[in-house]
A and B are shown apart, each in its own frame.
Chain A
């Protein structure tokens, strides 16, 4: 059995690697998108200071609280707030006193201005305790990269498996294989494995390649990130398999795959956060495997989450994978 799976796996890999156009596109497209977005959004300046407050906003000095163009964001946990400050998502962090405690990030220019504002006007004459944090900013591209790589993985999985299977069926490749002792499950296992390996290969090259130039700010573990993408890729490949289980027309397959991939591309949080989105939209997004992949990967990237902290997403991906695979293999037809 393993010999047959291995033979089909190797053949599929060769087929992919030798298709220069497909290989080039699979590698270049994500690079283009990542770099394009990095430059397009490199200067995302906002003229508003974000002030984190641990505790009651009403406990702040009244004059400071009344200053225009300050956006007060309350936090319950000091740790979370400090993390945001460290990555320039807050400009200053306050804990009402007395004595009033405040934290600034030395390497953030807006932090320096916010501190002047606090000491010069709002809190003049009060006893204050100053604390420092340091850390590099989390840029839009650091936030975005998880979504872009996930999206690329989705297209590669859906079209690379779904569309190819339908083409195999239409041209008679599947019929030829059906006449051999190869079993459907063996054939499908080889297709899934092949795409997983290729997808992770592309992920590795693109992530580390882009990292070399853009120096991503990743807070969580790289190993966790790989694990999440591996599971996400398995889920998306299985979805491609399910779509292609018995479709014989390339047009229909293309339509179905587009119908799945476009909503995912826009509604699963690739480009913008779904926090605060209307509830029905959020529910729809939760039904999409891509949402769970992106949420988990992004939490590891920008919040330093551990696997345990994103376990809900991972279980969902795992369950979806199992269902897609089971139904896909069960409904599969060679012809």
Chain B
């Protein structure tokens, strides 16, 4: 698959800031894929996508769309769902779709958009009266109004309840099925895992790991996570294979040698009655790479 969007050495520094918000970041987004920027709040994800969108100008580095620098036509080929945005007031969803459609040379039919984003009953309502999940669907429809090749979704499910989030994931998948390239930022690792073909884990304006989610996990981890309630855990005298991390009321043991680890725990006097074993996640990976939690 060919590269649709390519960035090299992106740097962005905000005035009165000691450090670069984005600090020499490079990435390649392949045609028709879903590329995820995963990282904690303040990692530089939004600054990065806003440079990719052409909204912000990088202080250094280059961005190419299909092999050429971003030009005027780029805006006609992209759709953006911003993290923080507002719409003109007192307009219905239908009127907003009409307004934004009129700004592009060949917009999608509003009826088709309504089906695609499940806006059926919402068309004649004022977005102010909609729930968070409904409003995000409206914003998604506006991002798709020009039938773009590349769709940017900046933290689209932040603040949504789990059901609305899963509903939104379905919409995102259906967009991908239409052959569109999706660039997603999120601080939900399960979202990145559910939607992305490729993720870049961002911290302090740099990519610290990048690849297919499963490949990344395999690269960095071999094995599973064993969880014990903190009260049941007693640190063994002899060595335990793997890392031990405390998370709230839980102690986690990340290991590839499950038998040896369980032996060691039993020898140390830990109770294994409430033991749980789970697969490693991108969240574990972030902790592993940075020593910090993804959501702090």
Contact = CB atoms under 8 A, between A and B. Distances in A.
Interface in B11-57: 53-55
B87 A173 contact: yes
Interface in A153-195: 168, 171-173, 175-182
Interface in B86-126: 86-91, 95, 98-100, 102-105
B82 A175 contact: yes
A15 B75 contact: no
Contacts of A182: 103
B182 interface: no
B87 to A, nearest CB: 6
28 contacts: A4-B103, A6-B102, A7-B98, A8-B99, A10-B99, A11-B88, A11-B95, A14-B90, A14-B95, A18-B90, A168-B86, A171-B86, A172-B84, A172-B85, A172-B86, A173-B88, A175-B55, A176-B82, A176-B87, A179-B54, A179-B75, A179-B78, A179-B82, A180-B100, A180-B104, A180-B146, A181-B105, A335-B55
Given A15-B91, A173-B87, A178-B55, 9 more contacts: A7-B98, A7-B99, A7-B103, A11-B95, A168-B86, A176-B82, A179-B54, A180-B103, A181-B72
A279 interface: no
Contacts of B103: 4, 7-8, 177, 180-182
A44 interface: no
Given A11-B88, A19-B90, A181 B75 contact: yes
Nearest to B145: A180
A68 interface: no
A333 to B, nearest CB: 12
A4 B85 contact: no
Given A4-B102, A181-B103, A182-B103, A176 B90 contact: no
A182 B146 CA distance: 13
B53 A179 contact: yes
A166 to B, nearest CB: 13
B239 to A, nearest CB: 54
A173 B85 contact: yes
B80 interface: yes
Contacts of B85: 171-173, 175-176
Counting from the closest, the 9 A-B pairs by CB-CB distance are A7-B102, A171-B86, A18-B90, A172-B85, A180-B103, A179-B80, A176-B85, A11-B99, A172-B86
Nearest to B76: A181
Contact of A11 (B80, B86, B91, B142): B91
A19 B3 CA distance: 47
Contact of B82 (A4, A14, A19, A172): A172
Given A11-B91, A179-B75, A173 B102 contact: no
Interface in A1-23: 3-4, 6-8, 10-12, 14-15, 18-19
Q: Is the interface of A mostly helix, strand, loop or mixed?
A: helix
A11 B100 CA distance: 10
A12 B90 CA distance: 10
B5 to A, nearest CB: 15
Interface in B47-80: 53-55, 72, 75-76, 78, 80
Given A8-B99, A171-B86, A173-B85, A181 B104 contact: yes
Interface string B133-171: 000000000100010000000000000000000000000
Contacts of B142: 176
Contacts of A18: 90
Contacts of B76: 181
Nearest to B103: A180
A173 B86 contact: yes
A15 B90 contact: yes
Most buried by B among A168, A177, A335: A177
A195 B44 CA distance: 39
B93 to A, nearest CB: 13
Nearest to A10: B99
Contacts of A10: 99
A14 B146 CA distance: 23
Contacts of B98: 7
A173 to B, nearest CB: 5
A287 B109 CA distance: 51
B104 to A, nearest CB: 6
A41 to B, nearest CB: 39
Contacts of A175: 55, 82, 85
Nearest to A3: B102
Nearest to A12: B88
A18 B95 CA distance: 13
Contact of A14 (B80, B87, B91): B91
Contacts of A8: 99, 103
A207 to B, nearest CB: 27
Contacts of A6: 102
A234 to B, nearest CB: 23
A168 B85 CA distance: 10
B80 A15 contact: no
A176 B99 contact: no
Nearest to B84: A172
